[in-house]
Structures are given as structure tokens and as C-alpha cells.
Structure 1
Amino acid sequence: MKDDLIGVSANIARVLQLVDQIAGTDLNTVVCGNTGVGKELVVKQLYQKSDRKGGPFIKVNCAAMPDTLLESEMFGYERGAFTGAHRKMRGKFEQAKGGVLFLDEIGDMSLSLQSKLLHALQDGEFIPLGSEKTVKSNAWVIAATHHDLEAELEAGEFRNDLYYRISAMKIYIEPLCKRPEDIPHLIDYYIKKYALQLNGNYSTVLSKHSLDKLCSYHWPGNVRELQNVLRRIIVFGEEKSIDEMLSISNGPGNSTDGCTVNGQASPLTDYLGLNVRSLDLSELSLKKFQKQVSDQVEKDVISYVLEKTGWNRSNATQILKVSYKTLLTKIQDLQIRPPASLI
């Protein structure tokens, strides 16, 4: 089954209308929305409905690598341009010639690299690292971001000129909690898709009780979270997966119940399971508590992301914005263990 943009809400209807209108142009477009709403799906639909659908579709994740590596990925390099450059490499801009260059999470790009991207977009040409020759590209640039770019403009964290260059057209996808009427349709589509993938048939049917639970949930992780829950339902059974999902969403990290003010209690001290006011003054090292809080927060966040990605470490590194090596080190140091079902 090929994924389409699923929904009956006014927002999805507007998105689909914009896709049809924009696909016939080569106007640079930015797709905005929270993580997990389906931005890449919209980008792919723009590509599929355009005259460029027979050309290359090249994706660059701007949040997944440091500046120096991202620059060489985008613009390419000559042999000997830097240590380790043993051969010439064509950049993504050049590879996307005649097709689409998808710049995912462009809001995470540094200001210095934004400047170089701006020149490439303005001139339709660039110079690879270590080269003196100009390379031309007519790639259609489509960007996506979960950032509020207008707010970043105000804060000086995103270039005004680049913003106006990439956003000749703009598509905004609302979070799933703002379009609850789409949830039943998404459930119906993906439960059939995953049942076919994982069980080889369409036979999985959710009970009304389970459907009500899923439809009343606020889905902070949007469609991606819904997809993960439905996969778990297919594999483990609906009651366990849905109850587990609800317990996570309503856990201590997402509730302020029981917190008071004026120093009597605080989210962090409750979180660590201690009461600062009960400790000896000799035990109140700020550095020690900073380390405790940092470790506990990191452990909870990493554990949550690993669970949501089914312990797919590569996907987790992209969400957490750390290197694969860093993630493995933290998993070991923080003693994070996969569930028994994945061992």
C-alpha cells in the first residue's frame, strides 16, 4: 500500500489543494508542522504530482550532521579537498539536477551554512569544496521544518533573505490534536496496512472501546506516534499496547498534580525522589544535583525515544540529534535496557 495524505479535516483538504496547485510550478516551497505530522509525505506528493517525478528525489537531513559534513554533502568536494577526501564526490545539489532537493529540518541549519545555501539558490550554481569550477543545478528545492521560522527570524537565528527565498510557497500541517476528525480515518488506513505487512492479511479489527481510547488521545507525537502504537497493536494485542501508551502519556513527567510553590516541593526534587530541605547542608552540592538531574532527564528522554522508534537506534539518533556513537555510549552509561520482547 502506497501512503497518501489521509484525512477529512479542513486543514488536510487545504494541504491537498495546495499540493495540486504548487506541483505544477518550480517555486521553492517550505512545509511546516510539528514533528510527526507528515511533512515528508507532503513533499513526496509534491514531487510525484510534478513534471519532475521522473527525475531524482534527493533528501538532505539538515539536523543529522555537523556543518562541515553537511556542506560537503550538499555541495560536493574534490579529491584532496580535506583529510579523508580520497575521491571526488558530487553534492546533493548536483545529484538533484532535474529533480527535487528535499532539505529536511532546514530550521536546524547554522547561519553560516544558510548564507552558502542562499547563494546557491539565488545563482543556481555553487562551487564544490576544493574546486575552482562552478557547478550549475536547476533542482526544485522543497524544505521542511518543525521550527517556527518566523520566531527564529525575530530572534536572529534564521536569515530573512533565505526565508523569503525558500518560502515562495508555504504549506502548514496542523498537529493531530487540532484535527481529531482525521484520527478514525488514519487508524483505518494504517491498521490495514500494518496488518498486511506484519500478518499478511487485513483481518485485524479494533474494538469500539479501543477505538474510543485512540480517538480521545491527544497524540503529542502526531501521526508518527499513532503509527507506532498501531504497529504494536498488531504485534502485541490492542489492550496492552493502548494501556501502555496511555500510561506513558499520563506519567509523572506530563503532570503537575501535587506540585506546590514557595519551596515546599518542586517538579525536579520530586522527579529525583528526594527532598532538598531534608538534606544536610554538606550534601547540597549544586554540581552533584545538576549531574543527577541531567542523567535522569537524559535516561528518560532516550528511553522514551527508543521505545517510540521500536529501539531503532538510527531513527533515535535523528530525533535526539546526536551521533550514533554518542547514543550507544549513553545507552551503556545510563544502563538503558530494551524490553524483554526485543531481546
Structure 2
Amino acid sequence: MDGTITVPQARPLIDHFGRHITYLRLSVTDRCDLRCVYCMKARPEFLPKSELLSLEELTQLSDAFIARGVTKIRVTGGEPLVRRDVMTLIENLGARLDTTALNEICLTTNATQLPRFAGDLVAAGIKRVNVSLDTLDEPTFSRLTRGGRLADTLAGIDAADAAGLKIKINTVALKDDNEHSLRELISWAHGRGFDLTLIEIMPLGEVDAARSDQFLSLEQVRADLERTWTLTPLTDNTGGPARYHRIEETGGRLGLITPLTENFCAGCNRVRLTCTGQLYMCLGRNGRLDLRAALREGGMAAVDALLDEAMALKPQAHDFDVSVGAATKVERTMAHTGG
């Protein structure tokens, strides 16, 4: 479907802390063609496809958020481009860029499917993509992704670049695994004209490793980088949680996402909708509302009412804990939640 849905009594989404919610992270699948060690178990149990929202339902729910003031939608997964016919949804969203308040759709991807889809994404209205890449070392890449090929991701990055997409590299900082090669990765990204954002590990779901063994403080990383590089703070804001710095020696921009060492929740402007229609008001909390049931049982008016409830329930902050022995408070994985 591609007709705009009108939601009754459209009002801005403002939580009880006064934060305007203008950013929706929309997951279209929990499936992925890689198996990253910080994201899922080696043998993940994927959701039955029958539980997923249809592409039409994803479009309807997107319209409900747009009508309530969401201006940016990021399509995520899992790996969103492995979902069959996902371009139908992306094209539907793209059609809303000229007819609604929506002013940006973007994508988070591991890039393996970009040689196939990059041109179509541009045609649909996507201008930038975030690409997950944690190392340029082939053996390390294969180990971290449990069998992935670095060449496939690099080919996808090349295809996106050739198609004119703006690329930002997202890198999870991992103790022992990539902490000593982050400088090389940053230099490579900046040399290609790409921004790069470092992300602290987030304790979402049970994986085959202790989070305390994976966690690397970005305070430590920044101190290491500043031994030889000059990091100048920037006021740039791309709508997400990253704080940006210019590295004078490379000329590039470095983002830092620090959910554990420097909580960024005060300015949170986003919510997450899973591929099964569960609305999470906070990445690090278990509270959720079932928009799938609301849509199927009560239609768009019921969805609209639940969005009001969501604003009343959105917490002030997460309470992530990666200390030794800490229990995992959020059972769902990042792949299920939407990256």
C-alpha cells in the first residue's frame, strides 16, 4: 500500500520528561546473514516468519508515527536487506518524503547485500547508510562474524559509495578483539571520506560470551587516540546518540556512543519498533507495548491511543550494567530489537 493513513487527532509525541520523539528505528527482520559475537548466539533461534508484521502493516505503523511528528525513520534488523521484498516498504516510505513531515529515511546494514540494492536505495530516497564494520583484518572479521567474509562487506561499501550514498561506519569497541586496531580502521574510514562512530558494547540478550569480557571503555579508547591525535569536540548532531569530534590529523569526524561511561539518555528522541510490532520505549528496558495487536484488533485509532500510553511509560534512562557477574536485564538480542 502507498496511500497515506490519516490518524485521528494527530499530536506530537512528547514524553513526560518533555522529550520530543521524532526518530523511529524500524526493524523489519531479526534474521541476518552474519552471526556477530556481540549480537547473537552462534546458533540463534530466529522468529517464525508468521509472527512478523507484513510490509503493509509496517507501512501503516510508520504512517502512525509520521502523523505524530516522527521526521526520521531508520530501517534496521537483523540485516534489513535479507527480508524478501523489503524494497516495497522502503519505496513506500520514500514516497512520503515529499508528502508528509518525514524528512529522512536511512538504513543500518552489514553491507553484504549492498551490491544488489545500493542503486535501488538511492532511487527510493535513501541518502545515507550506516555500515557495521569492526575490523579490517580478515581472520578477525571472520571470527567476530562467525564465518563472514570481509571482502563481501567491503564490496558492499564500494557499491554504496559508487551509488552516491553517504556512508558512516559503525564499530563496536571490543576488548582484546579490535581495541588495538581501531586507529587503523578510523584512518581507513577517514581516508575514504567516511565518518566513523565507535560504540560501547550493550548488554542485550544472552550471547556466547560474558559482557564484562567484551566491554571496552571509550574513555580509555579516546585517551589512547589522544596520545598522538588531536580530537576537537563538535556540536554536530545527526539525530542519534553520538557525540562527535574532528580528528585534526585525519580531517575526519569520529562519533562516540557511550551508553555506559557517559549516559546520553537525557536527550533521547527515539523509540524502537520490532519486526513483530512490539514498541520499546527504551533500548535498555523491557517495557513494551503491542502495536501489532492494536493494529489488527482496533485499527489505527487503537495504535494512536497506544502511542499516548507509550509517552507516559517511556523511562528517563536505561540501567545497563556490564560489570563482572551482572545479570542480563534485557533478554532480547540487538538483532531482535533492531540495531
TM-score with structure 1 setting the length: 0.32
TM-score with structure 2 setting the length: 0.33
- Which structure's residues are more often helix, by fraction? 1
Higher relative contact order (CA 8 A, sep 6+): 2
Whose Rg is larger? 1
